[in-house]
Amino acid sequence: MTGEKAPIGVIGVGWVGLVTAACFAELGHPVVARDIVPAKVEALSRGETTIHEPGLDDLLRRNAGRLTFTTEMDGLLDAAQVLFVCVDTPPTYSGDADLSRVRSVVEELRADGDHVLAMKSTVPAGTGESIRRDLPGLAYVSCPEFLREGSAVEDFLHPDRVVIGAGPGDDGAGAAVARLYEPLGGEIVRTDVASAEMIKLASNAFLATKISFVNEIANVCEEVGADVGEVARGMGLDERIGPSFLQAGIGYGGSCFPKDVSALKMLAGNTGYHFQLLNAVIEVNELQKRRVVGKLEKHLGSLLGKRVALLGLAFKPNTDDMREASSLVLAARLQGEGAEVVAYDPVAKERAAELLPTVEMSASALDALDGADAAVLVTEWPEFAELDWAEVANRMARPLIVDGRNFLDAKALRSAGFEYEGIGRAGEGSPSPAAAD
């Protein structure tokens, strides 16, 4: 795009919306971002970031003059022609995507015919066609996001691809959205709306499938004496497979994978197709979180009255997002077995405390580990690898750790006096089948 930058509107300034607004401002565009939560708008207008995302604070400060935050739709419509919709589509009790926030935006735009609506929110295939019927005068483009929490700014500014779906009569709108992304250099995939919607759901479902698959392999490795790290490395060298998302652990979480896998499963079911593979992906992911309890019980016996420290609470490092975090399930299961649960997370403590009111929140990792009968590494924050584990062993009532992300140095921990359990790492704290015989 050359010359004067076009003003851009962003509807919804949650995680995706705020990153989108800040990055477009970084590209030189004036951006008006609207949210219905006054407290959030007021905080952002004061320059206070409302989420933890590396690099986002700097972008917001550097581009404060280009960013306007408001609760009013009229100001947004007056300022910008292209409107990026970035509202949440959480799962309903049935597993379908909740489109109520999207529908609310559509209602507000019903009388409008002068703008391009670019849908970044993840919606089921067919949603765009439905909106186009409801808003016949408005140009509609599907532009799904592929941002990873913890590296969202980098992902936006250096995309591997940008998907843009436009229906008949909206090619000009699709081209307008494409021009906004051209300076970023990623491949621009132009397609129809339904295909663009499916690309997002299919991508996340496939990545979730890789995670569940390698976790199943990890469980088998524990039974046959193999090391899932070596297995995954050997698999990943095959270019048809690749190394990404082959890290065994205690399951995926966050705002995207659980929701999108469920939404795709329900989308298929609503058409009469039984997506059996996704049923297995979901089941494996849920069971993986609970296997940690069995590992603890193998060493401790009953967990009644035992003090268990959780290291990390956010669903992944470099974010404070607690949505579908493994820590939520794990804390509940441990307390259900009668354990006393104490936890520490360097960023997500405040959000976690609201969701886990009966879990003791510690001010530091060492405080959480002090007097604990066992520890579980839930989130692979770098500071946990840098702990003085010899000191930790002296502070714990029993130096036992379950490394839920295979993140720590098992050999160093054993040398420090720890009983160590990883995921899929038979022989590193778990008896091999031969030894068991």
- CA dist 387 to 213, 311, 390, 413, Å? 31, 12, 9, 11
The answer to whether the CB of 252 falls within 8 A of the CB of 289 is: no
Can you say whether the dihedral through the CA atoms of 423, 381, 283, 328 is positive or negative? Answer: positive
Strand pairing category for 31-34 and 8-11: parallel
| CA dihedral over 380, 402, 281, 263, signed as positive or negative | negative
β-pairing verdict for 307-311 and 340-344: parallel
Contact criterion met (CB below 8 Å) for 281 and 205: yes
Other CB atoms within 10 A of residue 78 CB:
11
β-pair partners for 403 = 377
The CA-based angle 133-134-138, given to 5 degrees, is 85
94 vs 161, 200, 251, 263, 326, CA distance in Å? 32, 20, 22, 9, 21
Q: Are 403 and 393 in contact (CB under 8 A)?
A: no
Find the catalytic residue in 23, 143, 221, 256: 256
143 a catalytic residue = no
- Half-sphere exposure of residue 380: CA atoms within 13 angstroms, side-chain side: 15
Backbone angles phi, psi at 165, to 5 degrees: -110, 130
**Residues 321-330 as b or e (16 or more Cβ within 10 Å = b):** bbbbbbbbbb
Sort 145 into a burial class: Cβ within 10 Å, 0-12 / 13-18 / 19+: buried
Q: Which residues contact 287 (CB under 8 A, 6 or more apart)?
A: none
Instruction: Point out the residues that are catalytic.
Output: 256
